Amino acid sequence: MNKNGKYSLVFAIFIACILLTGVAVAEKKGGGGGGGGSKPECNDKIDNDGDGYTDMDDDGCSNRKDKDETNCGDGECEGGEDSSSCSADCGPSSYCGDGTCDAGESCSSCSNDCGQCDSCSDTDGGSVIGTYGTVSGYLNDNAYSSNDYCADSSNVREYYCSGNAAYSTQQSCGTDSTGSNYCSGNEIYQDVTDYFCSNGECDNSVTAQLQTDCDDLDNYGADYCSDGDVYHNYNNFYCNSGGCANTTTPYIVESCAYGCTSGECDIMSDSCSDTDGGNTSTTYGTVSGYRNNNPYSRSDYCVGSTSIVEYYCLGDLDAHSQQSCGTDYSGSNYCSSGDVYRDSTDYYCSSGECDSAVTTQLIESCTYGCTSGSCDSPADSCSDTDNGIYEYITGTVSGYVSGETYSETDTCFNSSVVNEQFCSGNYANTTMMFCRWNETCSSGRCS
């Protein structure tokens, strides 16, 4: 055998030993070969975990009865180690909540790792426009929430679910409508339904609108004659099956004393009589009779305190006019019992007739008598207190002239001259009197 052949033989033997050793180890761990008398791994002289150490030399052995030679924490996932028994060497095991969506996990079994499943829920139970609702859920692991809202006053944006997906559609709240006529009492109404959107939901309001008040149609027909009297029909309207119907009842308008023609009572002739005999304002009177078949009676009456409305007859017709009772006036002065008097006449209306009152007024009491409505004047006269021309006494002349009284007193013309008053018959006169050389004039006299 050459050198190369020898090397090949040795290598083959080495490989066979390794294989036999592996089979033995596998049988020991698998309990093969009866297993009841096998030794613990830490006392079988075999490197069971393949880390190069055997039995008690292996850190995985705590004593010779230790049945597991593996050493968790040596950085090698060996022997019976796995992720559950030694995650330090074999790595962590897969579990929900590890942040990784592993095989076998899904959104339904582990939403923490795989995210939320697409979902949808609707608080109003579907596409229900008459109820405000909110759809919410998840889409692509993102939460969402959408509320129904009014697109305008008559349309709603309605959100609803279809499977696990949310959808929306704009829908009309409805078309306003008017119902049929119906009766309420004697009135005809129609219900008007108004559809609208408010606070994210459709709603409607019903308003009763008055169409006709049948009572407003009640009326009296034209007058007509029946049995010699005047009648008319009363048409009473009421509501029936959404429309106005009526009943007709005849009523007497006027009982005619002289018969009836064309809906009017036949008339008697016009007439007039006057208790004061005519247009006599100073006597209260009443006119009465018939005009156009209607009886009448009208009496004179006062308008204010000085006028009267006087009724009188013009043939068979009554007439009237407003008249003044007269204009107040005062008469001329006249003499009575030596004094001056005057009469005043006051015209007035009282109790429907004109009257007057005369008042006599004393105008002047006369001392010297009265003539032709005026007092007589006294005769001209003169008297002098110093009895003539006497410059040493201050005197006064007085009396009447042309019915007027007068009185004049002596005065100083200057310091030496007296203006002396004196009587000349029945009239006053005056002259200048000079004082002596050693006298002066003071207080109307020389001294």
pLDDT at 371: 92
9 and 65 together in one domain: yes
Domain C-terminal end among 37, 58, 73:
73
393 and 433 together in one domain: yes
User: Number of structural domains, the chain?
Assistant: 5
> How far apart are alpha carbons 325 and 354 in whole angstroms?
5
| Residue in 415, 423, 405, 424 with CA at minimum distance from that of residue 444 | 415
8 and 69 together in one domain: yes
> How far apart are alpha carbons 260 and 225 in whole angstroms?
6
pLDDT at 25: 43
Q: Is the pLDDT of residue 23 over 60?
A: no
pLDDT at 28: 45
- pLDDT tier for residue 84 given thresholds of 50, 70 and 90: low
Is this model's pTM higher than 0.85 or not? no
294 and 350 together in one domain: no
> How far apart are alpha carbons 365 and 375 in whole angstroms?
8
pLDDT at 31: 43
Q: Report yes or no on 170 lying in a domain.
A: no
Q: Is the pLDDT of residue 20 over 90?
A: no
Q: Report yes or no on 9 lying in a domain.
A: yes
What would the two tokens of residue 248 be?
């007709």
Percent of the chain scoring above 70 in pLDDT: 88
Domain C-terminal end among 51, 73, 95:
73
Q: Is the pLDDT of residue 30 over 60?
A: no
Radius of gyration of the CA atoms of the chain, in A: 75
281 and 261 together in one domain: no
101 or 134, which is more confident? 134
279 and 244 together in one domain: no
Q: Is the pLDDT of residue 385 over 50?
A: yes
pLDDT at 55: 80
9 and 60 together in one domain: yes
Q: Report yes or no on 234 lying in a domain.
A: yes
27 or 117, which is more confident? 117
- pLDDT tier for residue 71 given thresholds of 50, 70 and 90: confident
Q: Is the pLDDT of residue 33 over 50?
A: no
pLDDT at 19: 53
Distance of CA 4 to the CA centre of its chain: 124
Q: Is the pLDDT of residue 134 over 90?
A: yes
- pLDDT tier for residue 376 given thresholds of 50, 70 and 90: confident
**266-314 tens-digit pLDDT:** 878 899 999 999 999 999 999 999 988 789 999 999 999 999 999 999 9
341 or 95, which is more confident? 341
Q: Is the pLDDT of residue 378 over 50?
A: yes
What is the three-state SS of 77-135? CCCCCCCCCCHHHHCCCCCCCCCCCCCCCCCCCCHHHHCCCCCCEECCCCCCCCCCCEE
**161-208 tens-digit pLDDT:** 999 999 999 999 999 999 999 999 999 999 999 999 999 999 999 999
> How far apart are alpha carbons 431 and 419 in whole angstroms?
6
> How far apart are alpha carbons 182 and 357 in whole angstroms?
78
Q: Is the pLDDT of residue 82 over 80?
A: no
Q: Report yes or no on 227 lying in a domain.
A: yes
- pLDDT tier for residue 358 given thresholds of 50, 70 and 90: very high
CB 89 within 8 Å of CB 76:
yes
Arithmetic mean of pLDDT over the chain: 88
pLDDT at 91: 65
**210-259 tens-digit pLDDT:** 999 999 999 999 999 999 999 999 999 999 999 999 999 999 999 998 88
278 and 235 together in one domain: no
Q: Report yes or no on 196 lying in a domain.
A: no
- pLDDT tier for residue 407 given thresholds of 50, 70 and 90: very high
> How far apart are alpha carbons 84 and 73 in whole angstroms?
13
- pLDDT tier for residue 14 given thresholds of 50, 70 and 90: low
pLDDT at 241: 94
Least confident of 89-93, 141-145, 192-196: 89-93
Q: Report yes or no on 87 lying in a domain.
A: no
Q: Report yes or no on 93 lying in a domain.
A: no
pLDDT at 69: 72
- pLDDT tier for residue 51 given thresholds of 50, 70 and 90: confident
Domain C-terminal end among 19, 51, 73:
73
- Full residue range of the structural domain in which residue 281 is found: 271-302+312-320
> How far apart are alpha carbons 337 and 364 in whole angstroms?
11
**306-338 tens-digit pLDDT:** 999 999 999 999 999 999 999 999 999 999 999
Q: Is the pLDDT of residue 48 over 70?
A: yes
Adjacent-strand bridge partners of 396: 409
Q: Report yes or no on 169 lying in a domain.
A: no
